[in-house]
A and B are shown apart, each in its own frame.
Chain A
Amino acid sequence: AQSVSQHNHHVILSEAASLELGCNYSYGGTVNLFWYVQYPGQHLQLLLKYFSGDPLVKGIKGFEAEFIKSKFSFNLRKPSVQWSDTAEYFCAVNPYTGGFKTIFGAGTRLFVKA
């Protein structure tokens, strides 16, 4: 079965620190990849997505992610975090099987100290 693994469950950073959240998936076929963010008390929203083309994708709020097919990875990065980035981040995979089911990782809870 397809699965998504996120390497860190909790991350604590100071403002202006760099962020990298790891994500690996297990599926041998074509996939669409996503990072979702859930700010405290809010619903899930899309941060960025990869379908095809340039493996380095840029999302909202200065986030970017790199798809490395050989490593089945889709790590999220931000050069300089802000207090407002405190949230939970979910990596997700949609295997291109036509079922449009989205499979989520366990999530990484990020806390940014002001």
Chain B
Amino acid sequence: SAVISQKPSRDICQRGTSLTIQCQVDSQVTMMFWYRQQPGQSLTLIATANQGSEATYESGFVIDKFPISRPNLTFSTLTVSNMSPEDSSIYLCSETQGTEAFFGQGTRLTVV
């Protein structure tokens, strides 16, 4: 199993501002993933954060809006830039061991 810690657990932000979410895992992993879970919907993969290279973004997500850092094998950040109310969501960090995914508690973001 894995222990994944995310900070902050929740935040309320003004539109137009940016928020950086931190994710710390308790073991070294090659790939970390960032998901978004909008109200009443399932998890949508935003990007794969690879250590030592740029993140790989899924269709509909761009680096300018969701820049990701991956400075080492246990840490990653996701920034939600120039926020609008449509960005209100739960953002989840994940890592896989084998193919089983483990998740952090998530960051509940509300944009007002």
Contacts and interface: CB of A to CB of B under 8 A. Distances in A.
B42 A106 contact: yes
Nearest to B44: A104
A106 B106 CA distance: 18
Contact of B99 (A32, A105, A107): A32
Give the bracket for the number of chain A residues in contact with chain B.
20 to 34
Interface in B33-87: 33, 41-45, 48
Interface string B85-112: 0000000101010011111111000000
Nearest to A105: B42
B13 interface: no
B33 A101 contact: yes
A94 B42 contact: no
A43 B104 contact: yes
A49 B42 CA distance: 19
Given A101-B33, A101-B45, A104-B43, A43 B106 contact: yes
A21 interface: no
A106 B41 contact: yes
A102 B105 contact: no
20 contacts: A34-B101, A36-B101, A43-B104, A43-B105, A44-B103, A45-B103, A46-B101, A51-B99, A90-B42, A94-B101, A101-B33, A101-B48, A102-B33, A102-B45, A102-B96, A102-B99, A103-B45, A104-B42, A104-B43, A104-B44
Interface of B: 31, 33, 41-45, 48, 92, 94, 96, 99-106
